[in-house]
Amino acid sequence: MRSFTYERARTPAEAAASAMRKPDAKFIAGGTNLLDLMKLEIETPAHLIDVNGLALDKIESTQEGGLRIGALVRNTDLAADARVRRDYGVLSRALLAGASGQLRNMATTAGNLLQRTRCPYFYDTNQSCNKRKPGSGCAAIGGFSRQHAVVGASEACIATHPSDMAVAMRALDATVETVQPDGATRTIPIAEFYRLPGDTPHIETTLMPGELITAVTLPKPVGGKQIYRKVRDRASYAFALVSVAAIVQRDGTGRVALGGVAHKPWRVEAAETQMPRGAKAVAAQLLADARPTRENAFKLALAERTLGAVLAEAKG
């Protein structure tokens, strides 16, 4: 790990302003992903801004009937919150499907959204990776690609986003709140928060330099049967081959988002009109533009079968 300087921010605006003054700075809270990347010298920040003292660790009801989740709420606390379990069950289930209990105790809401891909070529500094070193190439293309994206990828990157929580947030139409270095605030619909790789896979979100996430807001509960199902190579502490976050109403309509298949949580609202017709019709539209490799083509059938199991469970 390379040497770095350190400070404790006193306010969100101060943290954002400090990050803007020091382009090589990174925010740190739980550090469950960042510290690993620093040890491997994949992330090499010259300055760390500790945001743990910013009092962003509350879950509060909103006037609209939803919930405002502070950026520093730990994954364990969010999953266990009675309001989340009652009204946003898909989110609680997604959180419990991710990582280990020890990691959930440290990981934060904002950090979970911003975690980096677990592509093995990204983690191996001897391999080419456009996400780690722009313009170096993508060793995953033509390499071992079983875990990689089947839809939304590009000629520059076929990595997948690792977060379970973000998939549920996408199904719930969450909104990300931020503060910018000049103190201005903005809200970003989660549908617009993540970017597809294109030619710049190292730019993963629509956050501006120095911008700090302060909260995630969930809209008023939509009810329905809420299910999160994750298919992985082993029962615990493994990232999804395919995951499904679904909200299914009594009439068969609803919402569905996929994880493990794309550079971001994958949702196609037009496909949801097919939910009363069954998983095959939904999957056909969800994955209409899929371009799998020989090694991960199985994900297309796996996604359809997993969605089918979820819809069957929703019907009781």
Q: What are the extents of the domains in the chain?
A: 5-49, 225-315
Q: Quick one: pLDDT band at residue 3, thresholds 50, 70, 90?
A: very high
Q: pLDDT over 90 for what percent of the chain?
A: 97
Least confident of 110-114, 232-236, 275-279: 232-236
Strand partners, 266: 258
Instruction: Provide the CATH number for the domain formed by 225-315 in this structure.
Output: 3.30.390.50
Instruction: Provide the CATH number for the domain formed by 5-49 in this structure.
Output: 3.30.43.10
Strand partners, 16: none
Token digits for 107? 């990981």
**Mean pLDDT estimate for the chain:** 97
Residue type, 13: A
Strand partners, 177: 187, 215
Identical fold for domains 5-49 and 225-315, yes or no, is no
Question: What distances in angstroms separate CA 176 from CA 79, 86, 217, 316, one per listed residue?
Answer: 18, 22, 6, 33
Q: Does residue 1 have a pLDDT over 90?
A: no
Question: Taken in order 80, 82, 84, 86, is the CA torsion positive or negative?
Answer: positive
Mean pLDDT for 271-279 is 96
Residues 218 and 203: their CA atoms lie apart, in Å, by 25
Mean pLDDT for 108-128 is 97
